[in-house]
Amino acid sequence: MLINYTVKPLFGIPVNWQTEITDVIKPHSFTDRQLKGPYKMWEHKHYFIEKKNGVLAIDHIHYALPFGLLGILAHALVVRRKLDDIFNFRSTTLDKIFPA
């Protein structure tokens, strides 16, 4: 499955992003990989583990930024924090929807 969307990773500048859903093992895991987008490489593995009171979601993300030294600087100053914010928001939202 291909997913196309627009993100605004830096300074509100829109960037087209295309990911492909692969390695689906229902209902345990799947992977999304960037085919086109803001990263030099992006691979996000989603794992779901059934627990007594619900489901534990685990993310493993491997990514690299383009632009060499400039990408390293952008990661340190902006990108890492933005990714942390995105996944913290998701976690908080899921906890509200599915309280323990």
Contact 34, 65 (CB under 8 A): no
Residue type, 91: S
Question: Quick one: which H or E segment has residue 55?
Answer: strand 54-64
Whether 77 shows a pLDDT value over 90: the answer reads no
- How high is the pLDDT of residue 63? 94
pLDDT digits (tens, 9 = 90+) for 45-69: 999 999 888 888 899 999 999 999 9
Mean pLDDT of 80-96: 91
pTM summary value: 0.84
Residues of the chain above pLDDT 70, percent: 99
Catalogue the long-range contacts made by 71-79 (C-beta closer than 8 Å, 24 or more residues apart): 71/40, 74/10, 78/10, 79/9
Domains in the chain, CATH or no CATH each: 2-97 (3.30.530.20)
- How high is the pLDDT of residue 94? 86
